Amino acid sequence: MEEIIKKIKTEVETFVIENANHVEEFRLKFISKKGLVTELFEQLKHLTKEEKQKVGKILNELKQFAEAKFTEAQTNVAASHKKNSQAIDFTLPPVPDKTGNLHPLTLTRNRIIEIFERLGFSVADGPEIEDDWHNFSALNFPPNHPAREMQDTFFIEKNPEILLRTHTSNVQVRLMNQQKPPIRAIMPGRVYRNEAISARAHCFFHQVEGLYVDKNVGFADLKQTLYHFAKEMYGHDTKIRFRPSYFPFTEPSAEIDISCLICKGKGCNVCKHTGWVEIAGSGMVHPNVLRNCGIDPEEYTGFAFGMGIERVTMLRYQVNDLRLYSENDIRFLKQFKTVVS
């Protein structure tokens, strides 16, 4: 039996432990309930009393030796695992950066700018906090026009002369005050209205205003410009129609509809079964507006239009709820990752 113990001791000594699997193999082979060392203790009972004492002693030494090796190996493996997991492996491929993407409204705004820039329009900007003159009075709003009333406009309580602009048309006024015709500009920006938030309305939204003032600008120029825009934006099959309308700052005025892109004119919920959806307001700049801005209406004429970027984007990407634009839900926003504006 002493021979066997010696043999097993050599095996314990030479057993190579390099990882957690080896630790477990070692335990099973030698010190578990069915391990070789444990089995040897079983065999002690076949020996005489004196032999038992002698063999028992060396067997105990073997057991302690095996257990010590096991504990040490366990500690070493755990330590080296920790070290490895902290080390940087420069050979691994890099973890890709999570890059964001442009907001759908920005994509659409950029596309609108691109289309009009090619027609020679420049981009102008103006303040969102505005006074009554630039937002209303200069644009020929009569003093009692309903748009001035509290339910539509956010006024500043301490000074009702100051308000949050309700449209980007204020930039028209500022531009005409600053520049001499010819003026050809588009004016994207944020506007505010005191409306309850729903799928179709929000207390703020975005518009792009367009203005062209020069000698001999006529309604045909307006029509052709917006016709071109609709085709560039929505494809060459898009149909466009002008509906007579009223705005204080244009005369004549027209609302512009395009054929519904969702049902292709057959009639659906989006176009309220008419086959047409409104995308912009427009008209010939009212002579009073030109005069208010120091431009002689006998010498110059102009056209103007304004459209909602949210609406244009809804039709472009089939977005059915305005609130999605400002909720910052990543599941919505990341869908525009591969969209090139």
Q: Is 136 in the site for ligand DAH (CB under 6 A)?
A: no
Smallest separation (angstroms) from ligand DAH to the CB of 129: 17
Q: Are 219 and 244 in contact (CB under 8 A)?
A: no
Which of 189, 306 has the CB closer to ligand DAH? 306
Which amino acid type is present at position 255?
E
Q: How many residues does the chain have?
A: 341
| Longest distance between any two alpha carbons in the chain, whole Å | 132
Smallest separation (angstroms) from ligand DAH to the CB of 92: 55
Q: Are 84 and 76 in contact (CB under 8 A)?
A: no
Q: Is 169 in the site for ligand DAH (CB under 6 A)?
A: yes
Annotate 312-339 with b (16+ C-beta within 10 A) or e (fewer). Answer: bbbbbeebeebebbeeeeeeebeebeee
Smallest separation (angstroms) from ligand DAH to the CB of 179: 16
Smallest separation (angstroms) from ligand DAH to the CB of 244: 13
Task: With contacts defined by CB under 6 A, name the span among 108-116, 224-232, 304-312, 331-339 that binds ligand DAH.
Answer: 304-312
Strand 183-192 vs strand 122-123: parallel, antiparallel, or unpaired? Answer: parallel
Which of 282, 292 has the CB closer to ligand DAH? 282
> For residue 149, how far is the Cα from the chain centroid?
35
Among 167, 184, 311, 316, which residue sits at the site for ligand DAH (rule: CB under 6 A)?
Answer: 167
Q: Which residue has the tokens 């099959």?
A: 237
Q: Is 189 in the site for ligand DAH (CB under 6 A)?
A: no
Q: Is 170 in the site for ligand DAH (CB under 6 A)?
A: no
Within 234-293, the residues that bind ligand DAH by CB under 6 A are: 247, 250, 281-283
Distances (CA, A) of 305 to 25, 59, 120, 142, 209: 81, 100, 16, 20, 6
Q: Is 135 in the site for ligand DAH (CB under 6 A)?
A: no
Which of 36, 209 has the CB closer to ligand DAH? 209
| SS3 per-residue string spanning 316-332 | HHCCCCHHHHHCCCHHH
Which of 167, 174 has the CB closer to ligand DAH? 167
Q: State the DSSP H helix or E strand holding residue 309, giving kind and residue range, or none if neither.
A: helix 309-317
> Could you tell me which of 5, 13, 7 has the C-alpha nearest to residue 58?
5
Rounded distance between C-alpha atoms, residue 337 and residue 331, angstroms = 11
With CB under 6 A, what is the number of residues at the site for ligand DAH?
Answer: 11
Q: Is 184 in the site for ligand DAH (CB under 6 A)?
A: no
> End-to-end CA distance of the chain, in Å?
85
Q: Is 304 in the site for ligand DAH (CB under 6 A)?
A: yes
Task: With contacts defined by CB under 6 A, name the span among 107-115, 156-164, 303-311, 326-334 that binds ligand DAH.
Answer: 303-311
Smallest separation (angstroms) from ligand DAH to the CB of 283: 5
Q: Is 230 in the site for ligand DAH (CB under 6 A)?
A: no
Within 91-120, the residues that bind ligand DAH by CB under 6 A are: none
Smallest separation (angstroms) from ligand DAH to the CB of 258: 16
Contact residues: ligand DAH, CB under 6 A: 167, 169, 209, 247, 250, 281-283, 304-306
